[in-house]
Amino acid sequence: MNIKPENVLINASHLHGPGPSYSDIDKPIVKAVKEAIKNMVPVDAGVGKGYEDRIMENRRIKLKNGKEWTIRHANPLPPDEEVAGIGPVDPEIGILRLNRKDGRTLAVVYNFACHPYQRCSEQRNHCRFSRFCLKSDRG
């Protein structure tokens, strides 16, 4: 495929609970890269950033005794008088938008550090909160 190593970016993520698990993850990745190379077109690139601080939380609570407490569904929270503060969050959303030369959107890539604990319409926790971002950019 003749891709220079400095042009490779690898993303790492994880799942909680049941979900797909691949022992041969390299095969679908190589397939996707080959398909992308085959379908390359000239684009105009734009970058931007957004800000969202309402949907995430840092699960680490700093206690007055110097220890940390991790919020989990099964753990009771420590009493308020023992809490010194919470850990930081990163509210910035990095955005890369690629438009075809005729102005139609080809792709939008965003980076947002979020550990979702909210429940969506399926009444379970999952990583599909990204679909809400996709719905906001259909132009």
The structure's pTM equals: 0.67
pLDDT by residue for the chain (139 residues), tens only, comes to 889 999 988 877 766 556 667 778 889 889 999 999 999 999 999 999 999 888 777 888 999 999 999 887 677 889 999 999 988 889 999 999 999 999 999 998 888 887 655 555 555 555 556 666 655 544 4
Cα distances (Å, whole numbers) of residue 77 to 13, 67, 73, 83: 27, 14, 10, 10
Q: What pLDDT does 138 receive?
A: 46
